[in-house]
Structure 1
């Protein structure tokens, strides 16, 4: 069927593109190293830059190109590139866009492993790192030196879940002559139009929401600028970055249900956030959509949705043993890294963790932090599990 009006970015993951195989819902899995080229002329003209007809398996397949096309359309990017993980996405932008002597400005509430990567690996190549507080605009000019080439933002913050003034941050980067990159994993590209706010690059960990199954690791990088897109593509090619065709298929399969899964337990998470806020042991509830959470007004201004990820901070006077007893008593929440899958998770951050130290700037009385991801279990069952575990640890 032919349609004169193209689907919106909300329907694109389901509708696909005109490059799809018309006989199937999704492009088939295509495993190949050698790709047969039909003619000598085609062989002579082979070019890895031709994303519609990759000449070699390392450069992807039709399915990989289809996934990248859908991701770019969802987010409004000129081009999206898939890589092996969200961390690899950070590495790609650093390798593609930085030179010796350049500095990366990282947010104090951002992805800790990316900061560690810069300190442990990229410093060997003459790349510096500085930290800035995205929630304190009055400190930006003093924290970000003139040699800064790349300014990174994460919204909400990785653990403490603040939402900064994103348009103001993008404008600051422009004034400083920096490339502005944002980790847009939380919105899945649907609920935050980062390029309309002035950001040049978007990073996502497709591991989480797009895959939906907690059974693969993948990342993506998107940009609206042609020069940046060309540099990212060239760097990925010459570093031999490749993503498994089976994983490509799994993410393509997850995209059509993304908008449904995204909000499946948002209301349940807000009810739990309210429940925790009434406990004397809790000094902060960190959920972008929860009134009173730091940056809530910015979330309302810039985002169009929220998912079921949130954190709580215990008063520093609460014994760590009691907190651990509460978490150990949970039966439907599993201990584990990441989020976004079908199973509910909980993470624990002790009093000396970097995220906890960051939170103390706005909440001096904060101690340990617990971060909850509500999966696809029944919201009422999850609430009952939390209530029972709390009673066993704090009301006994």
Structure 2
């Protein structure tokens, strides 16, 4: 029903008073706020539809090079800003956003592999990424094999004419072995058709430079071709966002990934992008705090007689410690401990976990709240000292609480285990 009468055309001039209906006036209201509104945090732009000023703009506007906007799925000022900042964080030039870290892994596999290809995955890679290879990739005629990440010769032995992609992870998921990244990359670089991809979630773009891990004899720096990053963790920092990123330096490789990204319809919400943008300025400070507390806790754990091994790259007895020293500036907030089966049953270790009060049981890491997660060792690894071992591994994700309070919490849980 019309709410105001007018003898003028409904779209005559931009004056809302000249429109025949309040609903139309509100939808087509001409007011534009003045520019120059500068704030600490970037603005949040939400859009599916993007408007074009004329048909020429419709036909010529380009989203692939970020010179314009065409549809919300292809980018907004908010997502473009986040992509550029993440490229800087990782040392890359281009970034694609995905709904989760696992979605970023799947995007890389789907964009770069075809039926008949083979992908090589480290033994200690993120479990759901390996599951994707066993499931979807296998269904599409893409095979995979697992190599020992601590031995470049193991990778070299697995490469054949069908190998198109090599995954790397540093440090290893859950068990935290640190690999010889330059050695593994040297093996892969001997095969020009192979693309190397690093899951850099643990390093967060801060522990080491993924795109500058080695140097050729003539002084040219080299590193991985692609990184993926679960922004869910350290960049978000709140335990309340799911998002992933794929970062590259090569425009041609980026274009391959971007076209698959577009065809899959991958997008992220503006409010989620806002939360990651809010987290990035404090990332380095938070990562350093996680690192300092975790090193202190790792050292304390080495003095607990119930634990057969403490796994943390900065500890001299942890696998890959020498490579960690050569490569890293920091170590993040994860530490794992091994309880041998002949000394402690699964039920006893679970009682230890349940006794923790500040460490809450939950997946993921990188937020303010400390987390704990138990894993059965049997069948977890094919290579290394944990292969074939029975017992329970308990991973701690150290948050931002007082380290003294966290150690006290662990201490009282050990007393439960001893009792």
Kept in 2: contact 1:182–1:203 (CA 8 A):
yes
Deviations 1:261-280 (A, max 9, x none): 11213232222212222233
| Equivalent residue runs for 1:31-180 within 5 Å | 31-177=46-192, 178-180=194-196
Deviation at 1:52?
3.8
In terms of Rg, which structure is larger?
A: 2
**Partners in 2 of 1:79 and 1:234 — Cα distance?**
14
Residue 406 of structure 2 is matched in structure 1 by 382
Instruction: Show the counterpart of 1:337.
Output: 363
- Number of residue pairs matched? 374
Which residue of 1 is the match for residue 282 of structure 2? 257
Worse-matched range after superposition: 296-305 or 265-274: 265-274
Change (3 A) 1:135 1:75: same
Equivalences for residues 304-319 of structure 1 within 5 A: 304-317=329-342, 318-319=344-345
Distance in 1 separating the partners of 2:385 and 2:71:
51
* Shift, 1:256, TM fit: 0.4
Structure 1 distance, partners of 2:398, 2:251, is 38
Cα deviation for residue 358 of structure 1 reads: 4.3
Is 2:221 the counterpart of 1:195? no
Deviation at 1:260, TM superposition (A): 0.9
Instruction: Quote the Cα distance in structure 1 between the aligned partners of 2:345 and 2:232.
Output: 34
* Aligned-residue offset at 1:364: 6.3
Counterpart residue number, 1:350 = 376
SS of residue matched to 2:198: strand
Structure 1 distance, partners of 2:340, 2:237, is 33
Question: Unpaired segments of 5 or more residues in structure 2?
Answer: 1-34, 214-222
- Please list the CA deviations of residues 136-171 of structure 1 after superposition, one character each: whole Å capped at 9, or x if unmatched: 223222233331100001000011101111011111
- Residues 360, 304 of structure 1: alpha-carbon distance in 2 compared, 3 angstrom cutoff: closer
- Local SS of the residue matching 1:203: strand
Look up the match of 1:186.
202
User: 1:366 offset after TM fit, Å?
Assistant: 5.5
Q: Which runs of no fewer than 5 residues in structure 1 stay unpaired?
A: 1-19
TM-score, normalisation: structure 1? 0.90
Query: Structure 2 matches for 1:207-226, cutoff 5 A?
Result: 207-226=232-251
1:205 aligns with 2:220: no
**C-alpha deviation, 1:314, in angstroms:** 1.1
Higher RCO (C-alpha under 8 Å, 6+ residues apart): 1
